[in-house]
Amino acid sequence: MWSCLFGLVAWCIWKNRNLFIFQHISWTASEVVKVSSYWGRNYISHVGNHINNKQSSPLMVNPYDSWVFLFTDGAVARDSSYAAIGGVARDWVGDWTVGFNRFLGVCSLFEAEVLAILDGILILLNKGYKRITVMTDNLEVAQTLNDMDLEDSGITVLRRTLRILHSEGEWMIKHIPRNQNFVADRLAKLSLSWKSSLQVIDEAPKDILELLQVDKMNGCFM
Is residue 113 pLDDT above 50, yes or no? yes
136 to 46, 57, 88, 109, 194: CA distances (angstroms) = 25, 36, 11, 13, 23
CA distance 80 to 36: 27
Do residues 215 and 152 both lie within one domain? yes
Find the mean pLDDT for residues 77-92: 94
Predicted TM-score (pTM) of this structure: 0.69
Cβ distance 124 to 68 under 8 Å?
A: yes
CA distance 60 to 36: 33
Do residues 143 and 196 both lie within one domain? yes
CA distance 47 to 50: 5
Q: What is the pLDDT of residue 8?
A: 61
Confidence of residue 77 (pLDDT cuts 50, 70, 90): very high
Q: Which of 31, 57, 83 is the last residue of a domain?
A: 57
Do residues 99 and 159 both lie within one domain? yes
The string of DSSP letters for 85-96 reads EEEEEE-TTS-E
Cβ distance 91 to 131 under 8 Å?
A: no
Confidence of residue 12 (pLDDT cuts 50, 70, 90): low
Q: What is the pLDDT of residues 19-71, one digit of tens each?
A: 566 555 566 676 666 666 655 665 565 555 544 544 444 444 444 558 899 99
Closest CA to 39 of 126, 98, 111: 126
Q: What is the pLDDT of residue 148?
A: 61
Q: What is the pLDDT of residue 59?
A: 41
Q: Which domain holds residue 20?
A: 1-57
Sort strands 170-175 and 82-90 into parallel, antiparallel or unpaired: unpaired
Confidence of residue 221 (pLDDT cuts 50, 70, 90): low
Q: Which of 11, 30, 57 is the last residue of a domain?
A: 57
Do residues 13 and 80 both lie within one domain? no
Q: What is the pLDDT of residue 145?
A: 85
Do residues 161 and 83 both lie within one domain? yes
Q: What is the pLDDT of residues 121-163, one digit of tens each?
A: 999 999 999 889 999 999 999 998 887 655 555 567 777 787 8
Give the three-class secondary structure for 202.
coil
> What CATH number is associated with residue 84?
3.30.420.10
Q: Where is pLDDT greater, at 156 or 81? A: 81
Number of Cα atoms under 13 Å in the Cβ half of residue 54: 5
Buried-state track 167-194, b at ≥16 Cβ within 10 A, e below 16: ebeebebeebeeebbbbbbbbbbbbbee
Do residues 41 and 91 both lie within one domain? no
**Number of domains within the chain:** 2
CA distance 218 to 222: 8
14 to 36, 109, 135, 170, 207: CA distances (angstroms) = 12, 23, 32, 34, 35
Do residues 114 and 51 both lie within one domain? no
Do residues 116 and 30 both lie within one domain? no
Q: What is the pLDDT of residue 222?
A: 55
List of residues 6+ apart from 203 with CB closer than 8 A: 96
Cβ distance 48 to 40 under 8 Å?
A: no
Do residues 110 and 210 both lie within one domain? yes
Do residues 119 and 78 both lie within one domain? yes
Do residues 177 and 138 both lie within one domain? yes
Q: Which of 57, 79, 94 is the last residue of a domain?
A: 57
Q: What is the pLDDT of residue 62?
A: 46
Do residues 51 and 14 both lie within one domain? yes
Cβ distance 104 to 15 under 8 Å?
A: no
Is residue 119 pLDDT above 70, yes or no? yes
